């Protein structure tokens, strides 16, 4: 009995011991330890992630304020391992009260709680760069912002309190800045600068392709300055915020919406808190779910909400409005491809809008084929999400999955199982959506939602069929020539061998070769 | 002037307008919208992620309490789209005050703030399953836990307040449970159950392989019961917690450690807050960094911390201790492979410990080749992290990257560029570490740290060289036989053709065939 008791004590102690170790984890502690989730897994990527997050913010801010963006990125080497990254824009500026939280707090932003196509969406990006800079150099981020010509600019230096996920301003002052409005951020960090694939300059180049209204300047550590001038003076239409579409809505989200709505009746809730539910449909849904149209949304019980959901799932709705989405467009995408790639054949497709989890999205695809593109390697795949080029984690992306699962052999290309096709081909795919489901906080690849994969496949196949026609036409001509050249090449060799095998004389060889060629020609045509 | 002013007003308004939209985002709102980050991107994966997270927790809790695990997983279909998932263990149980936060709060746990090899590490897993269940069915999670034979069990139902990331207990009571200690969790969720690749049953099977001390039972929706009995009655050694190794430490982390240490001198800080810094080395570091060994750690300025870091980076340290790591072991891994795969040749390797970002880790690799494994398909890759099988996102994993970049041709296998080799081959790789850097919160693949990739390559190459010797020996024998069989097959056909070309008689054919075979045999040997 004694032993039993102490055994029980031991067991209890285990549970209690484990309990003592339980602790809350702050979101910035979490991301410090998991900085690769935010795109900071290598010195090379650290700089490129920082540039990307800042430029994306600048483009978004300009777009919302109808300003033609003029963005300058400068990268300076300060020690062997450290770089100072500066991004300056002519955007609307940021009011000084917001600066600390925007740059010094993870999960803070304007886009998370709205449904609107934008480059940023999670409220993590640029503050993660500040966090990384501080983590690797101990230095604060330096921010200058001006919101009006008549006001002085505001300058501050800020630190990140990792344990609390809160910003700490270490210096602040008003400064002169010879600019009407804009924002400049300087972050020093451990890094590595390199050109080529997945580099900062590649990111800037592709960003210019998908944002022809922006002027972009890159000053590299060695002083090289690359300028992408504006290709158009028309800023794209401002993105519109929309209500969720009822397709794909989930019970938990529906319950939260019911709890937080300002609508006073279920009827009003359905027609105003969702898009694409008209008065008639709303009445029908209420009737089928057996709830009064005048019921107070906040008083709807879980079981009723579940009935409502089941009825919504059975109802057919008009497709979501697409005016909230801003695709690149078939014409512009084709023009961009023609500008960047020296190919013979181009085709682009913009699909109609589709929906996943209630979020409308549009897939666009384009192909460039032939010309001086490399014939021996796999096709090059270029991915965009809300006009931002995706440079990393290609293999994890649903764009890659859809493209590699497409049967490219039917379009006349070689393809080994599960790979990109081989040949002189560039494949570009763009997803525009009010909410792009990225596979990680660093927004490098798109998650595998079946609806998205299906749309990408359809877009790629549509392009593929056009390509197939072109390739087959080209192929027939070439094949014929190739086969003929094989004949010419091998017939004399076989003839020689036959001569030896059959111990014939030299003068017979010519006749043999003729007969042989004739025989093989005939058999090939069977 | 009037226009200018109103223009300025407009600009100011943009900044102010954008400011109004800025909001804090709660971590559970974030993950609700990004549920694919937690492994809930499809109904199929939802169930398997839930089982994985719960079973991992059970195995960890048993291991820490030295209990031989007995875990039962039951999956029942409740409606066409909904399943009830139950996981019951004989672990130490959970004290009732901790239950709400462990199951109903994201980023809460015992493992995040320690360096110790464990299956769980982030404090997200099982609470994400509770969140998903609620999101899709509106139902609370039901938890029963008992920490001692002499106490009644505690039962509760809990909800998740998504906007606050806080648990809400909706029902709680003491209940009878005919068990000494353990925990049972029941979650109902939308899902899909399927067998085969990446299924729950595959997860359980591979978990049995890497945890031979556990008894695992799976009851499938159709009532099929699969039991994996214990293969050994010795629980693995309890994982030890360690201090960080100085290699790869970052400035921000060093500064935080200095701020929070209990050591009163820099000398004491270096020797007790890190592993592998002896008294002599500590003195040398202080001298080189030009800081007094008696300096108070909490008063060390940023610039001094930076000097300290630079000196640490230049210093050579003894490799990290490995007793904190619990690899599967060369023998056991080989035995497991032999048990699961009907192959001819097996080789396994456990590498010495290495370090990335101050975290020690060990890579193990194993190959199974030949026998009844499929010869026509790509090799099968099985990945483990801290003894947990990784089933998803294979292509994003640094294990896959290292394996596909290995030149398998030098070991006598076919391989198309950037792919797994083709042939009758299973490749198993295990990473054991006090902190596995996963590419997403759903812990499906390992991030691309160069040190990790290097170690995986070395392990795989070591196995590959052994395999190469075996394959070459086999290859010579087979090649000979294959070539001979080609001769036998084609000589008569060519003979027939020759007959036609040269208009010979039937009786000549036999002679031609003999001569032809002789000729080809000779030319092949040149």
User: Which CATH number goes with the domain that contains A265?
Assistant: 1.10.8.50
**Residue B143, strand partner residues:** B156, B185
Name the residue facing A92 among B11, B25, B32 (closest C-beta).
B11
B22 lies in some domain = no
Q: Is the pLDDT of residue B234 over 70?
A: yes
Using an 8 Å CB-CB cutoff, list chain A residues near B253: 32, 135
Both tokens assigned to A329: 């467009």
How high is the pLDDT of residue B6? 47
Name the residue facing B110 among A22, A26, A109 (closest C-beta).
A22
Q: Are B448 and B395 in contact (CB under 8 A)?
A: no
Using an 8 Å CB-CB cutoff, list chain B residues near A8: 148-150
A315 — phi, psi (to 5°)? -90, 145
Q: How far is CA B388 from the centre of its chain?
A: 6
Average pLDDT over residues A239-246: 86
Q: Between β-strands B354-356 and B359-369, what pairing exists: parallel, antiparallel or unpaired?
A: antiparallel
DSSP string, B124-137: -HHHHHHHHHHHHH
Q: Are residues B364 and B272 in the same domain?
A: no
Structural domain ending residue among the three candidates B314, B339, B355: B314
Both tokens assigned to A429: 């795919």
Q: Are residues A376 and A516 in the same domain?
A: no
Name the residue facing A11 among B123, B147, B440 (closest C-beta).
B147
Q: pTM for the complete prediction?
A: 0.80
> pLDDT digit string (tens) for B469-495?
999 888 777 777 777 676 677 667 777
Q: Are residues B292 and B173 in the same domain?
A: no
> pLDDT digit string (tens) for A265-300?
999 999 999 989 999 999 999 999 999 999 999 999
B244 lies in some domain = no
Average pLDDT over residues A383-410: 92
> pLDDT digit string (tens) for B137-196?
999 999 999 998 888 999 999 998 888 888 999 999 999 999 999 999 999 999 999 998
Q: Are residues B362 and B380 in the same domain?
A: yes
3-class secondary structure per residue, A175-201: ECCCCCCEEEEEEEEECCCCCCCCCHH
* Crossing angle of the two packed helices A330-340 and A200-210, in degrees rounded to 10: 140
B295 — phi, psi (to 5°)? -60, 145
B285 lies in some domain = yes
Number of DSSP helices (H) and strands (E) in chain A, helices first: 14, 16
> pLDDT digit string (tens) for A81-130?
999 999 999 999 999 988 998 898 888 877 777 778 888 777 788 889 99
A411 lies in some domain = yes
CA distance B521 to B513: 12
Both tokens assigned to A418: 């599960």
B24 lies in some domain = no
Average pLDDT over residues B337-348: 90
How high is the pLDDT of residue A125? 81
Q: Are residues B34 and B168 in the same domain?
A: yes
CA distance B45 to B36: 10
Closest CA to B237 of B319, B337, B117, B125: B117
Cβ <8 Å between A180 and B11: yes
Both tokens assigned to A210: 């998908």
Q: Are residues B128 and B193 in the same domain?
A: yes
DSSP state for residue A164 in the 8-state scheme? T
For residue B488, give its domain range.
475-525
Q: Are residues A191 and A277 in the same domain?
A: no
CA atoms within a 13 Å half-sphere pointing along the CA-CB vector of B19: 16
Q: Is the pLDDT of residue B324 over 80?
A: yes
Nearest CA in chain B to A26: B107
Is ipTM beyond 0.95? no
A412 lies in some domain = yes
Count of C-beta atoms within a 10 Å radius of residue A331: 10
Average pLDDT over residues B342-356: 92
The residue whose two tokens read 């939802």 is: B46
Q: Are residues B452 and B488 in the same domain?
A: no
Structural domain ending residue among the three candidates A472, A490, A511: A472
Q: How far A201 CA sits from the closest chain B CA (Å)? A: 22
CA distance A404 to B485: 37
Could you tell me the CATH number of the domain that includes residue B439?
A: 3.30.230.10
Count of C-beta atoms within a 10 Å radius of residue A154: 21
Cβ <8 Å between B18 and A61: yes
CA distance A465 to A446: 25
DSSP state for residue B178 in the 8-state scheme? S
Q: Are residues A287 and A393 in the same domain?
A: no
Cβ <8 Å between B181 and A440: no
A293 lies in some domain = yes
Structural domain ending residue among the three candidates B431, B451, B472: B472
> pLDDT digit string (tens) for A499-523?
777 766 666 767 777 777 777 666 6
Q: Are B161 and B168 in contact (CB under 8 A)?
A: yes
Q: Is B501 helix (H, G, I), strand (E, B) or coil?
A: helix
Count of C-beta atoms within a 10 Å radius of residue A232: 12
A6 lies in some domain = no
Q: Are residues B302 and B435 in the same domain?
A: no
Could you tell me the CATH number of the domain that includes residue B213?
A: 3.30.565.10
With cut-offs at 50, 70 and 90, classify the pLDDT of residue A6: very low
Q: Are residues A76 and A217 in the same domain?
A: yes
Q: Is B425 helix (H, G, I), strand (E, B) or coil?
A: strand
The count of domains in chain B is 4
Q: Are residues B219 and B70 in the same domain?
A: yes
Name the residue facing A22 among B41, B102, B136 (closest C-beta).
B102
> In chain A, pLDDT over 90 holds for what percent of residues?
51
CA distance B392 to B399: 12
DSSP state for residue B409 in the 8-state scheme? G
How high is the pLDDT of residue A234? 82
CA distance A454 to A460: 10
CA distance B460 to B363: 9
The residue whose two tokens read 């353990």 is: B182
Q: Is the pLDDT of residue B104 over 80?
A: yes
DSSP string, A408-460: GGGGT-B--TTSPPBSSEEEEEEEEESS--BSSTT--SB---HHHHHHHHHHH
Both tokens assigned to A46: 């650290």
Average pLDDT over residues A453-478: 91
């Amino acid at each position: 009995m004694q032993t039993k008791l102490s055994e029980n004590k031991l067991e209890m102690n285990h549970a209690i011991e484990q309990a003592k170790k339980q602790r809350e984890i702050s979101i910035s502690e979490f991301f410090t330890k998991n900085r690769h989730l935010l795109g900071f897994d290598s010195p090379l990527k650290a700089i490129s992630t920082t540039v990307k997050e800042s430029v994306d913010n600048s483009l978004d801010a300009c777009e919302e304020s109808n300003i033609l963006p003029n963005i300058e990125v400068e990268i300076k080497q300060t020690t062997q391992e450290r770089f100072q990254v500066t991004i300056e824009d002519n955007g609307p500026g940021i009011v000084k009260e917001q600066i600390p939280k925007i740059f010094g707090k993870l999960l803070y932003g304007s886009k998370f709680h709205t449904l609107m196509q934008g480059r940023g969406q999670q409220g993590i990006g640029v503050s993660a760069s500040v966090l990384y800079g501080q983590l690797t150099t101990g230095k604060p981020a330096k921010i200058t912002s001006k919101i009006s010509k008549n006001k002085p600019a505001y300058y501050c230096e800020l630190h990140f309190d990792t344990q609390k996920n809160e910003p700490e301003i270490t210096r602040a002052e008003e400064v002169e800045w010879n600019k009407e409005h804009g924002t400049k951020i300087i972050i020093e960090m451990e890094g590595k600068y390199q050109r080529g694939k997945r580099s900062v300059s590649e990111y800037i180049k592709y960003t210019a392709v998908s944002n022809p209204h922006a002027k972009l300047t890159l000053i590299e550590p060695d002083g090289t300055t690359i300028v992408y001038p504006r290709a158009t003076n028309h800023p794209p239409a401002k993105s519109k915020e929309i209500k969720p579409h009822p397709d794909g809505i989930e019970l938990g989200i529906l319950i939260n919406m019911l709890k937080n709505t300002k609508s006073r009746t279920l009827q009003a809730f359905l027609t105003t808190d969702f898009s694409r539910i008209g008065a008639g449909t709303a009445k029908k849904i209420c009737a089928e779910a057996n709830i009064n149209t005048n019921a107070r949304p906040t008083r709807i019980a879980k079981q009723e909400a579940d009935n409502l959901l089941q009825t919504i799932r059975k109802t057919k709705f008009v497709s979501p409005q697409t005016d909230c989405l801003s695709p690149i467009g078939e014409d512009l995408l084709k023009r961009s491809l023609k500008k960047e790639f020296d190919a013979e054949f181009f085709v682009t497709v913009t699909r109609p809008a589709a929906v996943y989890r209630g979020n409308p999205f549009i897939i666009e695809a384009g192909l460039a084929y032939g010309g001086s593109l490399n014939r021996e390697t796999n096709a090059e795949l270029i991915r965009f999400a809300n006009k931002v080029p995706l440079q990393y984690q290609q293999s994890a992306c649903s764009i890659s999955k859809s493209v590699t699962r497409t049967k490219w052999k039917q379009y006349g290309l070689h393809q080994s199982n599960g790979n990109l096709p081989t040949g002189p081909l560039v494949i570009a795919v763009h997803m525009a959506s009010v909410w792009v489901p990225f596979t990680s906080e660093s927004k490098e690849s798109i998650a595998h939602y079946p609806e998205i994969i299906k749309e990408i496949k359809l877009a790629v196949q549509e392009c593929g069929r056009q390509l197939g026609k072109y390739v087959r036409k080209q192929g027939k001509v070439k094949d014929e020539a190739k086969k003929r050249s094989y004949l010419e090449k091998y017939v004399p060799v076989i003839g020689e061998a036959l001569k030896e095998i059959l111990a014939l004389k030299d003068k017979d060889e010519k006749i043999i070769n003729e007969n042989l060629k004739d025989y093989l020609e005939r058999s090939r045509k069977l």
